[in-house]
């Protein structure tokens, strides 16, 4: 167990280093964009005079490197600064958006993960049958279609033609939990369709891979029914690759939903990021990107830890 | 009247009551059904007009909102903020549905003889949502927000002629200008000039979102949505809805779907590509309103080859505007005539011949200028106008027939207005609607204007501009604007392909007045206080 804690600590350390490098890259990428914040804020209505006044007010006259280290110094003390454009605290702007994003990701994950894993087990059981083929074709089709296209198809059939679900997921204050589930069903379903195929196919492949092993042969010979052979004997050894793929897809549910948010008008963090980039609002861009990066780092770490925990050989190394 | 016609009349009256038919169509069909004009007018008045009912929550989907929006009127940029401002704040004056200038916070206004001093009388029954009455001091502070060295306001240029603004008692504001400006009360409708509560030190409190408009903000998140409820102390007629919800719908498809499924009651912009399909839905009413917004193509008059008026006119003649309007604007536009004065603005001269596509004449002008085989680069970007690049390519095709080689340069969307506009010699630009020709000409055609996008210097034009500005006699002014239009058309450096229409829509159960203001989409951005539910 001590090794495991050591591993976690080491990985977290590297994670922090990664975040630092990312923050440098993001800062200078934003600097490279044509135009600056003052121009983005004033738009076509900008004159030299009020551009200068606004730059002064926003503190843009300092050199970029100085501004970066000022931001970094504050960030290290847990202060992620204020939006350059609105003067609002970054934490206030992002917190609610991030909660919305997490909610949608959780909603989709709660449906998608059990669904994909179960489906993977079933198609492994019924491999090379017509059912297996049909499921494969359908899930591959859904993962190959762009998300916004899937979203539009769902809107067309489930909202416009039948009126079963609302077409846009705009949230209002004071909605009940059930209203919330109803309002966000279509974006969640879109995400489910996008991530299912990957997890399902990995489950299927990992299990089928093991079916040729001698211990599975043994289980069959002793008379265990096929479903038990798979669930009791094959699955525990197949978890490691499956968990890795699940972690990747969970990360995607948080970081890759910008298009879905736009299509369904869902106020998540992706939308905030796009808006901030268009305004060159560096503190918000930086915070959003760091959240995304941290999500990937933490979920990858969690996947490795879980893979170790599910494998006795890794849990008790000789 | 026959029985069949009687049935038709009943249906028409029903449609009129529901607000799903305009007065013009009503009259047209009524006359066709055999009614006299007087009878039809009477029927319209009794059955249809003034049926505005109070009540309901108006859900309003608006394009173009951003998380980084703020309540600072000086940096209003997105449509959502402009529409919100017209809903929760007040201005001194407002543009009425018929395009005339009407009162908002100011009950009345009058000018000194030379129009260089304006006195506004502020209504005594206006109050902020916090309960405090609106006084002249709030007006002074709100206008001063856009003046001075430290201001970051985009409206600074608009008020550059103002030398002094002072309150005379609680209900009178006196504005002094460097020279006469007969249009000054029109300028007060500019969306930046919203009136906010004044602080003691003469600044304004814009952060709280307090205002004196028809609706007060109950809750809201920038770039997402705002919930508002009626301000009972509002000082004007209207505000029929109990509540208003402003929802940011940036995605064209989301906007259209939300309207079709009834998730919103009105939207601020309909995609022209799908306008015809949407028209088939009986639950939806589409408005197609000619506006003063324009697409312009300025050529730098001080740069070769555009320094020769013959070359400029050849480029103007080399455009087939009809095809551009049909294919790029899907018919939702008014043909331009190379002077920046739209039929939706006052003083429009209606007797100036339309410039048509004439490649042969363009060729002979080029020959005269010794510029045969002319080759020019036209810079544009897709963010300027939906289809801007396509439009430039189409123009290049038209120009080929006149022996002109137009190279279309696709510039990046980001920074277009800082790195391309006013910098490159031949660009494609989109202008929002301005209330009067004077505002437009002063902004972008005056010799020393910062945004004189074609760098055009015409002595007579500039002389007339100053004269017309201070002229209080309407017919004399109209005559001057006519002459200026001719100068711009035949000597100016700007091609104006078209004035774009505002195309927006609402559900059929929303009642709209007979005349819709053309200053912004959705009835001059004032749908919340001017529209109502019929059922």
Cβ neighbours of residue B87 under 8 Å, at least 6 residues apart? B213, B214, B215, B228, B244, B246, B525, B526, B528, B529
What is the structure's pLDDT at B8? 55
Q: Is the pLDDT of residue A11 over 90?
A: no
What is the structure's pLDDT at A92? 85
Same domain, A18 and A165: no
DSSP letter for each residue of B289-333: EEEEEEEEEEB-TTSTTTTSHHHHHHHHHT--HHHHHHHTSTT-E
Q: Which residues of B touch A264 (CB under 8 A)?
A: 254
Whether residue A34 and residue B415 make contact (CB cut-off 8 A), yes or no, is yes
Same domain, A236 and A289: yes
Q: Which residues of B touch A43 (CB under 8 A)?
A: 77, 154, 417
What is the percent of chain B with per-residue pLDDT over 90, rounded to a whole number? 73
Task: Assess if residue A161 is contained within a domain.
Answer: yes
Instruction: Pick the more confident residue, B515 or A3.
Output: B515
Task: Assess if residue A200 is contained within a domain.
Answer: yes
pLDDT band at A38, cuts 50/70/90?
A: confident
Whether residue A83 and residue B68 make contact (CB cut-off 8 A), yes or no, is yes
Same domain, A44 and A110: no
Which of these three, A27, A48, A76, is where a domain ends? A76
Same domain, A123 and A37: no
Same domain, A128 and A167: yes
pLDDT, one tens digit per residue, over A246-277 is 999 999 998 888 889 888 989 899 888 888 88
Q: Which residues of B touch A94 (CB under 8 A)?
A: none
Rounded mean pLDDT of B350-376? 93
Rounded mean pLDDT of B423-444? 92
Same domain, A170 and A265: yes
Task: Assess if residue A221 is contained within a domain.
Answer: yes
How long a stretch of residues is chain B?
Answer: 535
CA A290, B251, A38: angle at the middle one, nearest 5? 55
Rounded mean pLDDT of B326-336? 93
Whether residue A46 and residue B75 make contact (CB cut-off 8 A), yes or no, is no
Same domain, A62 and A116: no
Q: Which residues of A touch B222 (CB under 8 A)?
A: 86
Same domain, A67 and A138: no
pLDDT band at B523, cuts 50/70/90?
A: very high
Host domain of residue A202: 94-315
Q: Which DSSP state fits B116?
A: -
- B251 inside 8 A of chain A by CB: yes
What is the structure's pLDDT at B58? 97
CA B62 to chain centre: 16
Cβ neighbours of residue B289 under 8 Å, at least 6 residues apart? B501, B502, B503, B504, B516, B518, B521
Q: Which of B68, B249, B419 faces A281 most closely, judged by CB atoms? A: B68
Rounded mean pLDDT of B129-137? 95
Task: Assess if residue A182 is contained within a domain.
Answer: yes
| Mutation target among B65, B158, B418 for the A interface, most CBs of A within 10 A | B418
pLDDT, one tens digit per residue, over B264-323 is 999 999 988 888 889 899 999 999 999 999 999 999 999 989 999 999 999 999 999 999
What is the structure's pLDDT at A1? 59
Same domain, A240 and A162: yes
Please give the Cα distance from A147 to A260 (Å, whole number): 7
What tokens does B115 get?
A: 């129009």
Q: Which DSSP state fits B134?
A: P
pLDDT band at A32, cuts 50/70/90?
A: confident
Q: Which residues of A touch B412 (CB under 8 A)?
A: 34
Same domain, A65 and A98: no
Name the average pLDDT for chain A. Answer: 87
What is the percent of chain B with per-residue pLDDT over 70, rounded to a whole number? 90
What is the structure's pLDDT at A71? 84
pLDDT band at B231, cuts 50/70/90?
A: very high
pLDDT, one tens digit per residue, over A107-163 is 999 999 999 999 999 999 888 899 999 999 999 999 898 888 999 999 999 998 888
Which of these three, A76, A103, A122, is where a domain ends? A76
Same domain, A145 and A55: no
Q: Is the pLDDT of residue A177 over 50?
A: yes
Q: Which of A44, A54, A87 faces B417 most closely, judged by CB atoms? A: A44
Q: What domains are defined for chain B?
A: 294-500 (3.10.105.10)
- Number of domains observed in the structure of chain A: 2
| Residue B507 bridge partners (DSSP) | B284
Rounded mean pLDDT of B472-480? 92
pLDDT band at B125, cuts 50/70/90?
A: very high
| Residue B499 bridge partners (DSSP) | B294, B334
Q: Is the pLDDT of residue B46 over 50?
A: no
| Mutation target among B57, B59, B66 for the A interface, most CBs of A within 10 A | B66
pTM of this structure: 0.85
Rounded mean pLDDT of B78-90? 95
Rounded mean pLDDT of A228-249? 89
Name the average pLDDT for chain B. Answer: 89
Please give the Cα distance from A124 to B221 (Å, whole number): 48
Check which CATH number belongs to the domain holding A300 and give it.
Answer: 1.10.3720.10
Rounded mean pLDDT of B134-149? 94
Q: Which residues of B touch A262 (CB under 8 A)?
A: 250-251, 254
Task: Assess if residue A270 is contained within a domain.
Answer: yes
Whether residue A43 and residue B154 make contact (CB cut-off 8 A), yes or no, is yes
Same domain, A144 and A229: yes
Task: Assess if residue A84 is contained within a domain.
Answer: no
Rounded mean pLDDT of A85-95? 85
- CB pairs below 8 Å between A and B: how many? 126
Whether residue A166 and residue B263 make contact (CB cut-off 8 A), yes or no, is yes
ipTM: 0.82
């Amino acid at each position: 167990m001590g090794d495991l804690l050591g591993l976690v600590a080491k990985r977290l350390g590297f994670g922090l280093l990664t975040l630092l490098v990312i923050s440098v890259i993001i800062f200078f990428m934003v600097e490279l964009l044509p135009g600056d914040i003052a121009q983005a804020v004033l738009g076509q209505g900008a004159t030299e005079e009020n551009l200068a006044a606004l730059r002064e007010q926003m503190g843009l006259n300092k050199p970029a490197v100085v501004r970066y280290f000022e931001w970094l110094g504050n960030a290290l003390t847990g202060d992620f600064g204020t939006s350059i454009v609105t003067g609002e605290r970054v934490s206030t702007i992002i917190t609610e958006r991030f909660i919305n994003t997490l909610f949608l990701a959780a909603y989709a994950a709660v449906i998608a993960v059990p669904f994909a894993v179960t489906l993977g087990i079933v198609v492994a059981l019924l491999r090379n049958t017509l059912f297996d083929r049909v499921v494969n074709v359908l899930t591959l089709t859904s993962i190959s279609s762009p998300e916004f296209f899937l979203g539009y198809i769902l809107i067309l059939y489930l909202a416009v033609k039948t009126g079963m679900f609302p077409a846009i997921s705009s949230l209002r204050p004071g909605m009940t939990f059930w209203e919330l589930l109803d309002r966000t069903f279509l974006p969640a379903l879109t995400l489910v369709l996008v991530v299912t195929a990957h997890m399902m196919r990995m489950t299927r492949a990992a299990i089928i891979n093991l079916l040729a092993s001698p211990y599975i042969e043994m289980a069959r010979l002793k008379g265990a029914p096929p479903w038990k052979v798979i669930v009791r004997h094959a699955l525990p050894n197949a978890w490691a690759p499956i968990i890795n793929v699940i972690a990747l897809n969970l990360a995607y549910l948080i970081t890759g939903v910008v298009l879905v948010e736009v299509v369904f008008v869902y106020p998540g963090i992706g939308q905030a990021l796009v808006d901030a980039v268009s305004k060159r609002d560096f503190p918000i861009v930086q915070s959003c990107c760091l959240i995304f990066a941290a999500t990937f780092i933490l979920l990858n770490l969690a996947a490795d830890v879980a893979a170790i925990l599910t494998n006795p050989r890794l849990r008790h190394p000789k | 009247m026959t029985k069949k016609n009687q049935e038709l009349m009943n249906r028409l009256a029903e449609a009129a009551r529901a607000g799903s038919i305009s007065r013009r169509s009503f009259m047209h069909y009524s006359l066709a059904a055999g009614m006299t004009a007087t009878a039809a007018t009477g029927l319209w008045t009794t059955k249809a007009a003034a049926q505005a009912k109070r009540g309901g929550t108006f859900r309003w989907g608006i394009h173009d909102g951003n998380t980084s929006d703020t309540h600072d009127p000086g940096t209003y940029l997105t449509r959502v903020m402009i529409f919100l401002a017209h809903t929760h704040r007040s201005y001194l004056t407002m543009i009425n549905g018929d395009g005339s200038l009407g009162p908002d916070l100011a009950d009345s206004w009058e000018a000194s003889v030379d129009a260089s001093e304006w006195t506004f009388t502020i209504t005594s029954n206006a109050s902020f949502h916090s309960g405090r009455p609106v006084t002249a001091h709030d007006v002074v502070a709100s206008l001063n927000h856009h003046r001075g060295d430290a201001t970051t306001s985009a409206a600074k240029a608009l008020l550059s002629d103002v030398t002094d603004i002072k309150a005379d008692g609680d209900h009178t504001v006196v504005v002094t200008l460097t020279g006469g400006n007969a249009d000054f009360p029109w300028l007060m409708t500019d969306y930046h000039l919203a009136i906010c509560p004044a602080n003691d030190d003469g600044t304004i409190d814009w952060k709280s979102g307090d205002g004196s408009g028809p609706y007060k903000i109950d809750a809201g998140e920038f770039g997402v949505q705002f919930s508002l409820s009626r301000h009972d102390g509002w000082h004007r007629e209207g505000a029929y809805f109990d509540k208003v919800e402003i929802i940011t719908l940036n995605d064209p498809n989301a906007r259209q779907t939300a309207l079709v499924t009834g998730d919103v009651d009105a939207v601020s912009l309909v995609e022209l590509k799908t306008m015809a399909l949407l028209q088939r839905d009986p639950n939806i009413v589409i408005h197609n309103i000619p506006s003063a917004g324009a697409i312009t193509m300025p050529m730098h008059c001080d740069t070769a080859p555009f320094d020769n008026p013959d070359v400029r006119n050849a480029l103007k003649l080399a455009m087939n505007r009809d095809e551009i309007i049909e294919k790029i604007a899907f018919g939702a536009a008014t043909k331009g005539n190379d002077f920046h004065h739209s039929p939706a603005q006052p003083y429009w001269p209606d007797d100036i011949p339309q410039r048509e596509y004439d490649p042969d004449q363009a060729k002979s002008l080029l020959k005269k200028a010794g510029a045969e085989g002319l080759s020019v680069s036209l810079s544009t970007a897709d963010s300027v106008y939906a289809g801007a690049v396509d439009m430039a390519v189409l123009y290049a095709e038209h120009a080929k027939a006149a022996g002109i080689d137009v190279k279309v340069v696709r510039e990046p969307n980001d920074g277009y207005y800082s790195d391309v506009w006013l910098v490159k010699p031949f660009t494609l630009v989109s202008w929002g609607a301005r209330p009067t020709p004077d505002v437009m000409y002063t902004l972008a055609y005056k010799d020393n204007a910062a945004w004189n996008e074609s760098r055009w210097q015409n002595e007579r034009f500039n002389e007339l501009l100053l004269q017309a500005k201070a002229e209080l006699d309407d017919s004399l002014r109209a005559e001057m604007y006519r002459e200026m239009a001719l100068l711009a058309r035949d000597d100016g450096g700007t091609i104006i392909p078209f004035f774009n229409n505002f195309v927006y829509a609402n559900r059929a159960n929303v009642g709209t007045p007979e005349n819709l203001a053309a200053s912004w989409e959705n009835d001059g951005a004032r749908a919340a206080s001017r529209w109502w539910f019929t059922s």
